[in-house]
Amino acid sequence: MKRSLPFLSALLISLGNLRGDEPITWLVHYEATSLPQAQGWQAVGELAAQASLVDGALRIRDDSTTESGAFRASWQPKPDHEVVVEARVRVESVTAMKEKGSMGSFLYWPSIQGWPGGVLVSDGRHQEGLVLHPQKCATFLDRIVMMDTRSEFHTYRLVIRGDDMSIDVDGQRKIRGEGAFWKPAESPEAFIQFGSNAKQLTGETFWSSVRLGLRKVSPKSEPAKLRLTISEPWDILSQTPGKTEPNTTKKIAKNTRPYLYDMGQGMLLMSVAQGPDAVLEPYGVLKSVDAGKTWEPVRDMQYKAFAPLPMIRLPDATILGISRWTARYDQDKGVFIGMTHRFNEATGTFSMSESFIRVPENITLLVFDRHIFDVGNGELMAVVYGSAPMLLKSADRGQTWTHFSTLARGKRHEPAVARFSATEMTAILRTSGYQPFEQIWSNDGGKTWGSAVTLEEGSVDPDLVYMKNGVLACSYGRNGSNLMFSLDRGKTWGFHHVFTDIRGFNYTAICEVSPGRLLYVHDAPSLRAHYVDVERIEP
């Protein structure tokens, strides 16, 4: 079964009057002149009783890892009206109780665990809202802007129109929020709630005012530009039923963190992590010959520290793979050793030889990542990161690699690169967990890169595919497993879709398995896949 995305109708008949000329009818409001209960708001959670007025603001302190405290009011939606929410608030603190061995990017998951200082809005169909952290404001899932919310009060305005939810701060647009009002409502009640709905996180916020209103908008017909049809999901098993992998030193872990490669001639290969999130963790390789519907492990290539991750078919039909992990020579700065793999299609096995890698001397960690390209003239280009995100080139079929360019300085990871032509390229880079991506462009084949643009989307391991119909697709995850598209080579992004907000590694991968059809793979709660048919509609 396939389904066309529900936001398509919003593209066909988008709501006009974008200037907001119509007056706002305020339905519910709170001013910090008395406690919310005295102004008709309902207390939610045990900690609501501890709220107090301090210096003209309502102080909501969540100091419990088991209880929460917030205030809620109901309201009635109207057809052809957008929702406007305003909150003037200052954040004092947000604290996560980090478990031993856990990663920082798993600490904040508002759509699942709630948040100690935010505004949650539901229209009875969908719900989303505003998340506030001392160093950022965000939605409950994947839109983030870094800013200081602690030093002073700011006025945050949410405008909810269909499935879109923009966020302005002090009158300046910070989050465009196309498709951001996405999550199915937990009940048919339309409500607004502010304060803490978190039980594990703690924090403290000060609220000067909160209000919700409606504003009439006029339908404005516009032609659709993209139609997405998404299949039902199917699971990708860690092992083929009835088969076991010999000669493994440990039990093969659940497959996570997929990386997809189209080898042509009807074959897909996928590299998957098979261990903890650690340097030199083992990976394995899976093979599909039916466009990703079923997969089987490649023999002798499971639970291997130096398994190939970027893989490519060369013009002479050779399938080449480069190991994700490398080893650094201690006595020769800037020199690393990796492994180059060649896949024998007749036997279904890989052979392996050492590769020699030379990079700038300040590089101490080097990881081959998602993308590898045949750039012509017998040259390969690979994307790496570690101490810095870089492009490497090889002129001898992956036996030696040399530094070609550096994509960014500083702490940037997991670069995804798309080539539009021999000269035009773009890259999206991870900055940190639960922080926005950065995007850069090159017009000289990747030799030099322009200044970074900060996106509103984040936070881990993006993947980019420039499709045959000229649409640029980007998958990304944590929080959630997500997908978005661009019709102008990445200058603007839209057509967002959330596959799940279930918590996992939430690494994703995409591959165009036939013209206009993407295979989308993600790992939350386990490795599974969808087809996404992408139809570009010209006016």
Q: Does 232 fall in a domain?
A: no
Tell me the C-alpha distance between 464 and 89, whole Å. 37
Decide: helix, strand or coil at residue 115. coil
Residue 142 in contact with residue 506, Cβ under 8 Å? no
pLDDT of residue 249: 46
Between 253 and 379, the higher pLDDT residue: 379
Tokens of 82: 């957008």
Task: Tell me the whole-structure pTM to 2 decimals.
Answer: 0.93
Residue 407's CATH number: 2.120.10.10
For residues 192 and 289, membership in a common domain is answered with: no
Q: Does 234 fall in a domain?
A: no
- CB contact set of 394 (below 8 Å; sequence gap of 6+): 379, 380, 382, 400, 401, 402
SS3 content of the chain, % helix, strand, coil (to 5): 5, 50, 45
Q: Which domain holds residue 366?
A: 256-536
Lowest mean pLDDT among 216-225, 339-348, 355-364, 439-448: 216-225
Q: Does 385 fall in a domain?
A: yes
For residues 479 and 336, membership in a common domain is answered with: yes
DSSP output for 178-225:
TT-S-EEPSSS-EEEEEEE--SS-EEEEEEEEEEEEEEE--EEE----
Q: Does 5 fall in a domain?
A: no
Q: Does 331 fall in a domain?
A: yes
Place of tokens 């017009």: 443
CB atoms within 10 A of CB 77: 14
Average pLDDT, the chain: 92
Residue 207's CATH number: 2.60.120.200
Tell me the C-alpha distance between 153 and 90, whole Å. 5
- Residue 112 pLDDT exceeds 70: yes
Q: Does 530 fall in a domain?
A: yes
* Banded pLDDT at 107 (limits 50, 70, 90): low
For residues 338 and 477, membership in a common domain is answered with: yes
Which of 161, 194, 221 is the endpoint of a domain? Answer: 221
pLDDT of residue 190: 99
For residues 183 and 44, membership in a common domain is answered with: yes
For residues 308 and 186, membership in a common domain is answered with: no
For residues 100 and 173, membership in a common domain is answered with: yes
CA distances from 284 to 83, 309, 335, 355, 394 (A): 48, 9, 26, 19, 24
For residues 265 and 200, membership in a common domain is answered with: no
Tell me the C-alpha distance between 248 and 167, whole Å. 51
For residues 339 and 208, membership in a common domain is answered with: no
Share of the chain above pLDDT 90, in %: 83
Instruction: State mean pLDDT over 185-191.
Output: 97
* Banded pLDDT at 188 (limits 50, 70, 90): very high
Tell me the C-alpha distance between 73 and 121, whole Å. 10
Alpha carbon of residue 297 to chain centroid: 27
For residues 129 and 59, membership in a common domain is answered with: yes
Q: Does 381 fall in a domain?
A: yes
For residues 517 and 380, membership in a common domain is answered with: yes
Instruction: State mean pLDDT over 218-241.
Output: 83
pLDDT in tens, 276-289: 888 899 999 999 99
Which of 197, 221, 245 is the endpoint of a domain? Answer: 221
What domain count does the chain have?
2
For residues 460 and 520, membership in a common domain is answered with: yes
- Residue 98 pLDDT exceeds 70: no
Which of 199, 221, 243 is the endpoint of a domain? Answer: 221
Q: Does 341 fall in a domain?
A: yes
For residues 342 and 201, membership in a common domain is answered with: no
Instruction: State mean pLDDT over 92-102.
Output: 68
